[in-house]
Structure 1
Amino acid sequence: MQKITPFLWFDNQAEQAVHFYASVFKNAKVGKVARYGEAGPGPAGSVMVATFEIEGLAFTALNGGPNFKFTPAVSFVIDCKSQAEVDYFWEKLAEGGRTDQCGWLQDRFGLSWQVTPTVLIEMLNDPDPAKSQRVMAAMMQMTKIEIPKLHEAYEAA
């Protein structure tokens, strides 16, 4: 068991979210589901918590009611090895949600994700500050990150 587990608070869509995330990520699985009993506070029989795993990381989803909402102050970064992988996660997670600048999006449940190609981080950490700044400037113009455009900026003289 991992020492720290992300615990995600949903109004009443925890089970939907768990199945959605398990369908998006190829290395994912749904775990246990605990339901509210007669003592509540949720309706008897409704999902209280559901566990799931993505890429070996365990999560817990809670149906806690409308008191708290997700904000972009906390997000999950997806390390993508190719443009095809960026495109896949961007399309799947953005459906029914909203896209933002620099590879950020909020999914249909309001959870924030950063769909980030590995090469972007490598370019931003280049020891040549002119190259990394050109890449940063290019990224700031994007919503979904486009690796060919990053390469153009990186290689520009």
Structure 2
Amino acid sequence: MQNHHMITPCLWFDDQAEAAAQFYTSVFRNSKILNISRYGEAGQEIHGKPAGTVMTVSFELNGQPFTALNGGPTFKFNEAISFQIFCDTQEEVDDYWQKLSAGGDETAQQCGWLKDQYGVSWQIIPRILIELLNHSDAATAQRVTTAMLQMKKIDIDELKQVAASQ
């Protein structure tokens, strides 16, 4: 299957690529696993993986292609890369937050950011937050920024109240 997207993020896992792809495709609508490739005998002295074990999983999350690679324990995820999920409602924010944060690192939760059970960072962003942070009134934008910095999961109603206050 030809991938027509120019850029596809590749996520390096130790050996959880298939489980992670199954998890992510269960969280996002319009998502699916496209292909699973397996390690063969060739290159075993380099990759050290038993023949037949999963090498890569190609999958889509709401139309965005991803590749998950079982590359071994050499590299770990960190907050230098995160995936942003833009939401229209508090229900969406709550749903993604609950699903993606389950089993993740609770100490990494701040300002709409969370780290999932695999160590991948996500930003759950209500669209209104972006609007309010870019408000034409600098004082309003500053109040919203201050409020956001106190939050873990973003609360839309609280942002609206802060924006409306003087």
Per the TM superposition, whether the score is higher than 0.5 is yes
- Partner of residue 94, structure 1: 101
Please identify runs of 4+ aligned residues in structure 1 that moved more than 2 A: none
- Partner of residue 112, structure 2: 103
Unaligned runs of 5+ in 2: none
- Partner of residue 11, structure 1: 14
Unaligned runs of 5+ in 1: none
- Partner of residue 150, structure 2: 141
Which AA in structure 2 matches 1:101? Q
Which AA in structure 2 matches 1:7? C
> What is the SS of the residue equivalent to 2:111?
helix
> What is the SS of the residue equivalent to 2:163?
helix
TM-score by length of structure 1 reads: 0.98
In structure 1, which of residues 38, 41, 60 is the aligned counterpart of residue 41 of structure 2?
A: 38
Q: Percent identity?
A: 54
> What is the SS of the residue equivalent to 1:34?
strand
Cα separation, 2, equivalents of 1:43 and 1:145: 44
Cα separation, 1, equivalents of 2:163 and 2:105: 28
Compute the RMSD of aligned alpha carbons. Answer: 0.7
- Partner of residue 130, structure 2: 121
- Deviation per CA, 1:52-81: give whole Å up to 9, x if none: 001211000000000001110000000000
In structure 1, which of residues 78, 81, 84 is the aligned counterpart of residue 88 of structure 2?
A: 81
Cα separation, 2, equivalents of 1:20 and 1:43: 24
TM-score by length of structure 2 reads: 0.93
> What is the SS of the residue equivalent to 1:102?
coil
Aligned positions, number = 157
- Partner of residue 22, structure 1: 25
Which AA in structure 2 matches 1:27? N
